[in-house]
Amino acid sequence: VPPDAPIPTVYPSTPEQLTFGERDTGNVALVFFRRHGRKPIVRQERVAFWTWRTETVRDVASLRELHDSQNLRQTVLRLYVDACATPSEYEEIESILADLKGTEAHHGRVGVMQVHRDGLRLDTRNIAEVFTDLPSVVQATARRLREEEEGENAEAARKALYYLYQLTRARPR
């Protein structure tokens, strides 16, 4: 309601936010008319079910903090992951993201989630340490992939190193 309007006009918002970036949505206007000629009392009441958030995480700690947040079931979350992670951190990030978003087998902690992983990078500088206690063929493969990182297929080599890391961490059943 414009404060100086001679005739009050109420512009209620949509009951739910429809896109990221919208402001003042998810409300209804309750209007109480006391008697003719008197200004009505208008009160804004929130009725929206969903809360829309855009978050950027830059490390594992902030992603853990987001994971432990309450009321994520009623959240539409756009998450940007912008982090350089060691193999173990990368694995933890992937695990947390799967728990937040959910899979075909289980519901996620977030109601609706859109993940942008473009900024998630694997830090392979010290990855040789991970493979020191493994067979020489695995160590040689890791060395070749590290060398390949210097060439044109750097991203593919990093992904291959991560998959090699995952394979070596897999427990036999």
This prediction has a pTM of 0.74
Q: Taking a C-beta distance cutoff of 8 angstroms, is the pair 70, 77 a contact?
A: no
Say whether pLDDT at 1 is over 80: no
76-125 pLDDT tens trace: 999 999 999 998 899 999 999 999 999 888 899 999 999 999 999 988 88
Average pLDDT, stretch 19-29?
85
Measure the CA–CA gap between 119 and 102, rounded to whole angstroms. Answer: 21
pLDDT of residue 169: 81
Provide the residue ranges of all domains of the chain, joining segments of one domain with +. 1-48, 50-123, 125-173
Q: Taking a C-beta distance cutoff of 8 angstroms, is the pair 40, 75 a contact?
A: no
pLDDT of residue 120: 92
Average pLDDT, stretch 18-32?
85
